[in-house]
């Protein structure tokens, strides 16, 4: 279709001169008015942000006022180990708490008195330094809210105290030389670590030799030096620093006991030992020179478990006391460690000879020849949760309940689960063992014990409530059936008295 415009008409249109038009790049639009056609160069200049609208006064300075920079004081960097020391700091006294008049201390007599059940007993002042040395206190246990450290006398505590009486041979039902082996389990906050603390207190009161591993994770976390032992198959590994640290704790906590006992056995690995050396002097050799810490520990263990002296050393021989061995966090010894072998593969905890020594005490029937108590506790707050240990503990619980291995109710690992057989063999029943391993599960406090626990908070000035049966029953239910860790949280909440 032809256009109605002809070429002649189009040629008559006169183009606009370029000088009259402003280039688009030179005439930007005002941002505040998008449909305005006035160029920026014809508009009023925009005012600067923050500029004052008041006119400048006569002889006023026109210089720019700058704000002075705030001087920040530089803090010093923390010294090596300072943060860890602050994190693990233990405070055992609060001067703002009320002092409880007539508070009974734990003693060989009171710890077996069933009439004091549910009462909070104070820890004896001379024992506190020994408990600090063996690292029995933990930072998150609430010791810093009371005037002095104390612990509640619960049913499990009285039963354990009676075991100490039997093994020491002082009571009516004395069984001198008896060895009791227990694995302590329970839910989080049930008081497993405090139960070990109570055992250490009783051990010191009864003049036993106390050897403790406060945290089993420290031996498998890869923080200490280690070396392979030549001639071992499979290869075993030694941790001289960890052995030296244990010897240091043992000497400081059992100084009075070790100073009264002298070497009574022959030790071929330590031929340079002087005759008449005390066990305190023997142990000091290990932590002054970590290179010989393992032979010194073996010699000290041999001396503490000796029943008769060697030939020619009968003169200064004294009977050895029973031993208390505690380990907290047993599950960390049932998995592979952070250490690596020459092939850069993880080393199993059972290949560490120091760990293997304490695990072998569970298997050997006469591990403590003079009697004693083995208490190995699991941890619920920091637990690697190995499947093999869980099944092994379930089997141990089933055997105690009378369930045979051929029963359908007997726990078995799932098919193709690949559980660690080394862990399973550790807790297998040993017919030749004189004392099999027992499983003790800590539960909650009873209502009567919980009431005595809350009364201790009230007498310390922390809890301001009318403590009666109904109030205690409500808190006992809220705590999951008397779990002592939850009871402590409920008791330490300060409430002001209503006006």
pLDDT at residue number 455: 93
457 shares its domain with 313: no
Q: What predicted TM-score, i.e. pTM, was given to this entire model?
A: 0.82
Which residue intervals of 235-352 are DSSP H helices? Answer: 240-253, 255-259, 279-288, 293-304
* Range in 259-273, 429-443, 460-474 the model is least confident about: 429-443
pLDDT above 70 as % of the chain: 83
Same domain, 225 and 198: yes
Provide the pairing of β-strand 150-152 with 120-122. antiparallel
What is the torsional sign of CA 132, 138, 144, 146? negative
% of the chain surpassing 90 pLDDT? 56
182 lies in the same domain as 204 = yes
Domain boundary among 402, 427, 442: 442
Beta strands of 205-353 (E only): which ranges?
A: 209-213, 227-228, 237-238, 323-328, 336-340, 346-348
H-type helices in 308-461, by residue range?
Answer: 353-363, 387-400, 421-426, 447-459
Other beta carbons within 10 Å of 495: 9
| Mean pLDDT (whole number) for 221-234 | 91
- pLDDT(195) > 90: yes
Whether residue 94 is contained in a domain is answered as no
Identify whether the C-beta of residue 429 lies closer than 8 Å to the C-beta of residue 73.
no
Q: Rounded mean pLDDT of 318-331?
A: 94
Res 52: pLDDT: 53
**What's the Cα-to-Cα distance from 4 to each of 7, 9, 12, 15, 432, rounded to whole Å?**
10, 10, 15, 21, 121
Within-domain flag for 67: no
Q: Across residues 415-420, what is the average pLDDT?
A: 85
Lowest mean pLDDT among 6-20, 192-206, 362-376: 6-20
Residue predicted with more confidence, 419 or 8? 419
Residue with the bigger pLDDT between 38 and 301: it is: 301
Residue 273 has phi, psi (to 5 degrees) of -65, 135
Residues 370 and 451 in one domain: no
Q: Does 65 fall in a domain?
A: no
Q: Quick one: 362 and 462 in the same domain?
A: no
User: Which of 256-260, 418-422, 452-456 has the weakest average pLDDT?
Assistant: 418-422
Pair 242, 322 in one domain: yes
Consecutive H or E run containing 162: helix 155-168
What's the chain's average pLDDT? 85
Q: How many CB atoms lie within 10 A of CB 172?
A: 6
307 close to 320: Cβ distance less than 8 angstroms: yes
Return the bridge partners of 437, or none: 181
Nearest-angstrom CA–CA distance, 98 and 101: 9
Q: Let me know whether 316 and 402 are in one domain.
A: yes
**Which H or E run includes 121?**
strand 120-122
Q: Is residue 366 part of a domain?
A: yes
Is the pLDDT at 129 greater than 70, yes or no?
A: yes
Pair 405, 470 in one domain: no
Under a CB-based contact definition with an 8 Å cutoff, are residues 197 and 151 in contact?
yes
* DSSP state at residue 106: P
- Of 295 and 39, which is predicted with more confidence? 295
The number of beta carbons lying within 10 Å of the beta carbon of residue 72 is 6
Is there a single domain that holds both residue 477 and residue 433?
Answer: no
11-12-16 Cα angle (round to 5): 95
pLDDT value at position 464?
A: 86
The answer to whether the beta carbons of residues 87 and 139 sit under 8 Å apart is yes
Average pLDDT over residues 109-138: 93
Per-residue pLDDT at 33 exceeds 60: no
Q: What is the pLDDT, as a whole number, of residue 427? A: 86
**What pLDDT is recorded for position 499?**
38
Higher pLDDT, 315 or 157: 157
Please tell me the least confidently modeled range out of 24-33, 211-220, 223-232: 24-33
Q: Strands 323-328 and 120-122, how do they pair?
A: unpaired
391 plus 486 within the same structural domain: no
For residues 396 and 182, give the distance between their C-alpha atoms in angstroms, rounded to a whole number: 11
Other Cβ atoms within 10 Å of 151 Cβ, number? 18
User: What's the domain range around 196?
Assistant: 177-442
Are 438 and 455 in the same domain? no
> What's the pLDDT band for 42 if we cut at 50, 70, 90?
low
Asked if the structure places residue 133 within a domain, the reply is no
Residue 417 in domain: yes
Q: Check: CB of residue 300 under 8 Å from CB of residue 278.
A: no
Give dist(CA 133, CA 242) in Å, integer.
15
Kindly report the length of the chain: 499
Taking the C-alpha atoms of residue 163 and residue 178, their distance in angstroms, rounded to an integer, is 9
Task: Pull the structure tokens for residue 484.
Answer: 């002592």
- Please tell me whether residue 429 adopts helix, strand or coil conformation: coil
Domain assignment present for 193: yes
Considering the domain boundaries, does residue 62 fall inside one? no
Judged against a pLDDT cut of 90, whether residue 10 lies above it is answered with: no
Q: What per-residue confidence (pLDDT) applies to 438?
A: 92
**pLDDT at 4 exceeding the cut of 80:** no
Query: Is residue 498 scored above 50 in pLDDT?
Result: no
Q: How many distinct structural domains can be found in the chain?
A: 2
Judge if 237 and 184 occupy the same domain: yes
pLDDT for res 197: 96
Closest by Cα among 281, 272, 336 to 303: 281
**Predicted local confidence at residue 256, as pLDDT:** 94
Query: Residue 381 burial by CB count (10 A; 0-12/13-18/19+): exposed, middle or buried?
Result: exposed
In angstroms, rounded to a whole number, what is the distance separating the alpha carbons of residues 326 and 202?
Answer: 13
Min mean pLDDT across 14-23, 145-154, 469-478 is at 14-23
């Amino acid at each position: 279709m032809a256009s109605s415009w002809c070429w002649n008409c189009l040629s008559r249109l006169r183009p606009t001169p370029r000088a009259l038009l402003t280039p688009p790049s030179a005439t930007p639009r005002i941002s505040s008015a998008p449909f305005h056609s006035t160029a920026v160069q014809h508009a009023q200049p925009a005012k600067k942000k923050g500029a004052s609208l008041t006119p400048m006064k006569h002889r006023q300075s026109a210089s720019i006022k700058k704000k002075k920079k705030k001087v920040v004081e530089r803090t010093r960097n923390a010294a090596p180990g300072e943060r860890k020391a602050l994190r693990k700091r233990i405070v055992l006294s609060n001067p703002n708490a009320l002092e409880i008049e007539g508070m009974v201390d734990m003693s060989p007599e009171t710890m077996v008195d069933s009439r004091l059940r549910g009462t909070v007993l104070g820890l004896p002042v001379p024992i506190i330094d020994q408990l600090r040395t063996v690292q029995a206190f933990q930072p998150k246990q609430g010791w810093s809210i009371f005037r002095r450290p104390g612990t509640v006398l619960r049913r499990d505590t009285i039963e354990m105290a009676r075991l100490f009486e039997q093994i020491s041979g002082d009571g009516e039902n004395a069984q001198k030389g008896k060895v009791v082996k227990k694995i302590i389990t329970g839910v989080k906050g049930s008081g497993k670590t405090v139960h070990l603390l109570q055992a250490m207190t009783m051990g010191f009161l009864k003049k036993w030799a106390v050897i403790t591993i406060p945290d089993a994770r420290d031996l498998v976390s890869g923080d200490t030096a280690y070396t392979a032992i030549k001639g071992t198959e499979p290869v075993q590994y030694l941790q001289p620093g960890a052995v030296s640290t244990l010897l240091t704790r043992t000497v400081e906590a059992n100084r009075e006991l070790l100073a009264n006992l002298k070497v009574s056995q022959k030790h071929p690995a330590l031929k340079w030992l002087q005759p008449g050396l005390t066990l305190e002097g023997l142990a000091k050799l290990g932590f002054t020179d970590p290179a010989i810490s393992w032979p010194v520990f073996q010699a000290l263990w041999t001396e503490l478990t000796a029943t008769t002296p060697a030939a020619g050393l009968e003169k200064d021989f004294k009977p050895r006391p029973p031993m208390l061995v505690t380990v907290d966090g047993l599950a960390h010894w049932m998995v592979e460690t952070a250490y690596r072998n020459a092939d850069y593969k993880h080393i199993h905890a059972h290949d560490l000879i120091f760990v293997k020594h304490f695990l072998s005490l569970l298997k050997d029937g006469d591990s403590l020849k003079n009697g004693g108590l083995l208490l190995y506790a699991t941890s619920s707050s920091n637990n690697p949760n190995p499947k093999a240990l869980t099944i092994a503990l379930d089997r141990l619980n089933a055997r105690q309940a009378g369930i045979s291995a051929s029963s359908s109710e007997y726990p078995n690992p799932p098919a193709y689960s690949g559980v660690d057989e080394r862990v399973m063999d550790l807790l297998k029943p040993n017919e030749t063992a004189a004392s099999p391993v027992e499983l003790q599960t800590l539960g909650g406090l009873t209502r009567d014990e919980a009431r005595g626990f809350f009364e201790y908070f009230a007498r310390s000035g922390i809890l301001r409530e009318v403590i009666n049966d109904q109030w205690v029953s409500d808190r006992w239910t809220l705590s999951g059936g008397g779990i002592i860790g939850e009871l402590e949280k409920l008791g330490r909440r300060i409430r002001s008295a209503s006006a």
